[in-house]
Amino acid sequence: MTKKSIRIGAILLAAGSSSRLGQPKQLLRYKGDFLINYILRILDQDRLEEVAVILGANKDLILSILPGSTTVIQNESWQQGMGTSISTGVEYFKNKVDGILICLVDQYRINSAVVNDCIRAFATDPSKVVACRYDNKIKGPPVIFPKSYFNQLSILKGSIGARKIIKSISSHSPTDMILISFPEGYLDIDIPKDLEKL
C-alpha cells in the first residue's frame, strides 16, 4: 500500500445534547462561525476521503446551519453515549477506508496543523494508532484508528468512547501508537464556565 493510496475517513462526533452546558455546543459561535462549521473547515483536507458528521440531539436545528454538501449520519441511539456515535461512524466507513480519524465537536483548539500531523503519521505506518498527547499527558483525539481496530470500535456503547482502547494500547503495547503533540487538546466545552475560554 503506497502512501498515496491510503484512504482515511473522518467522523466528527456531534450527537450529544450538551445537557451540562444548557445549549447545543455545536451551535456556539467561534471565530465568526458556528463551532461545528469551524471544525468542519479544519477537517476540509485533500487527504481525507470523506468527513461524516454524526448527529443525534437537536438534529434538525444543526442540519439547518450545516453546508449542504455535508455527509450527515443519524445516530438513533445517541442518548446511550459517545460509544454509539463512534460505532455508527465506523459502520459507515469500515468497508471504504484504511483508517478512521475521530474528532470531537467541542475540541475547539483543533487546527489544521494537528490534523495534518495525524494524517502524515498514519501514512507513514497505517498499521498503528495515531493519537494526540495533551499538555496534561492525557492521550486522546483527534485519533486515527487503522482497520485492525474497526471491529472493536463498531461494538462500542455507553459514554466512554474510544478512551478505553487508547488507554489499553498506551499501557500494554505503546509501540503500536504514534503520538502527536497537541498541548491544548484537553480544552473543551462542557459547562457554562467553559464558555469564558472561547
CATH of the domain at 75: 3.90.550.10
pLDDT value for 41: 95
Predicted pLDDT of residue 191: 81
pTM of the complete model beyond 0.85: yes
Residue 180 and residue 121: Cα distance in Å, rounded? 8
Q: Which of 81, 78, 75, 56 is nearest to 159 (CA)?
A: 81
3-state DSSP assignment of residue 198 = coil
Alpha carbon separation from 124 to 4, 40, 43, 45, 49 (Å, rounded):
11, 24, 20, 17, 17
Domain region containing 135: 3-197
Query: How far is the CA of 183 from the CAs of 1, 109, 111, 136, 138, in angstroms?
Result: 32, 9, 12, 8, 10
Residues near 131 by beta carbon (within 8 Å), at least 6 away in sequence: 139, 140, 141, 143, 144, 166, 170, 177, 178, 179, 180
Compute the distance between CA of residue 139 and CA of residue 133 in angstroms, rounded to an integer: 5
The per-residue pLDDT for 100 is: 98
Number of folded domains in the chain? 1
Per-residue pLDDT tens, the chain, 198 aa: give them.
Answer: 445 589 999 999 999 998 888 889 999 999 999 999 999 999 988 889 999 999 999 999 999 999 988 999 999 999 999 999 999 999 999 999 999 999 999 999 999 999 999 999 999 999 999 999 998 788 999 999 999 999 999 999 888 789 889 999 988 998 999 999 999 999 888 887 878 877
Dist. CA 181–CA 177, nearest whole Å:
13
Mark out the alpha helices in the chain (DSSP H runs).
35-42, 59-63, 82-93, 112-124, 150-154, 163-172
Quote the pLDDT of residue 4. 55
Question: What's residue 20's pLDDT?
Answer: 86
